[in-house]
Amino acid sequence: MPRINNNFTTSKEAISQMTLIQKQIYLKKLFGYDTLMNVERKQLIERQIISYLSTERRLYIKQNNEQKLTVLSEKIQSAINFLQNPTNCSNASILVCPMDGPDWGFGFLIHQICYCFLFSIVSGRTLILNNENAKLYKFNVKWNELFMPITNCNYAEHAMPFQPLKEYIDKNDTDRILVFHPREKVDSLSFFQSI
């Protein structure tokens, strides 16, 4: 193991601001590379420096990617929150997702809501569930007893008074409130064509 020359140590902050070449020069001085005559020791120090710098680079890239993903995640969550919690529900474009099948199980409801949610995002509409009090098939529990509301708007106040609702056709629909029936949209794949 090479000995460290304490005359050349510097702060972590200064090291973090160095370029790759500057770090290599610093580490060579730190390990007394230029004063060594033994070629094998110099090669050992070079391998250790390269190993250290490549490990540092991988960690930097990983940290940088995590920071980018965090920023991207925050942007997406903010956009969804803005869409799902409008300041004025009476003026918001709304997509109503039906939850009233008599024998819809938990898995089907999750699938239905996710599908409705995808279309609401693509069309820029606030998603409202038409019946959060619906009991889950074969369970003695209601949807709203398991999950928090997905929006600050509510069906009874912001969609029901406007019955009958027109059906969602595509993201260019101009009606403020539409109802979405995913079963009919599965075959058309219109969602994937709009991306």
Q: Of 33-37, 122-126, 133-137, which gets the smallest average pLDDT?
A: 133-137
**Sign, Cα dihedral of 140, 144, 145, 150:** positive
Q: How far apart are CA 132 and CA 144, in angstroms?
A: 5
The residues near 120 (Cβ < 8 Å, ≥ 6 apart) are 83, 95, 97, 126, 127, 180
Would you say 99 and 132 are in contact if contact means Cβ atoms under 8 Å apart?
yes
**pLDDT top residue among 151 and 38:** 151
Task: Indicate the angle between helix axes 39-84 and 106-123, nearest 10 degrees.
Answer: 90
**pLDDT top residue among 100 and 71:** 71
Provide the token pair at 173.
């629909």
Above 90 in pLDDT, residue 51?
A: no
Q: How confident is the model at residue 176 (pLDDT cuts 50, 70, 90)?
A: very high
Above 70 in pLDDT, residue 191?
A: no
Omega of the bond prior to 149 within 30 degrees of 0, cis?
Answer: no
**Domain boundaries of the chain, sorted by first residue:** 6-82, 85-193
pLDDT value of residue 2: 53
Return the closest-CA partner of residue 131 out of 108, 99, 103.
Answer: 99
Above 50 in pLDDT, residue 25?
A: yes
Mean per-residue pLDDT over the chain, rounded: 81
